[in-house]
Amino acid sequence: MGPLDYSNSLFNIEANYMNDNTKLKQLTLRLPQHLHRDFKVGAAKQGRTMGDVAIELIKNYLRKESDPL
């Protein structure tokens, strides 16, 4: 995978949402370098983008937050 390989990038995330007319918003997040590196490596090991993993994590968080105790 070279520097111009866009298969695991924003273009891939957008493609996942194109068919359902979901509008996307950009989220900027500052992380310590070690967390960013570990997150990037972990996502890559799963063959996923960091964005796809972040969306899944946020959805899970919101689901848990909406569940009554």
pLDDT tens for the 69 residues of the chain, in order:
444 454 545 556 666 666 677 788 899 999 999 999 999 999 999 999 999 899 999 999 999 888 776
State how far the Cα of 2 lies from the Cα of 55, in Å rounded to an integer: 25
Q: 17 — phi, psi (to 5°)? A: -110, 0
The pLDDT value recorded for residue 13 is 66
The pLDDT value recorded for residue 50 is 93
The pLDDT value recorded for residue 1 is 44
The pLDDT value recorded for residue 22 is 79
State how far the Cα of 37 lies from the Cα of 40, in Å rounded to an integer: 5
The pLDDT value recorded for residue 30 is 97
The DSSP result for 7-40, as a single string, is: TTSHHHHHHHHHTTTPPP--------HHHHHHHH
- Number of helices (H), then strands (E), belonging to the chain: the values are 3, 0
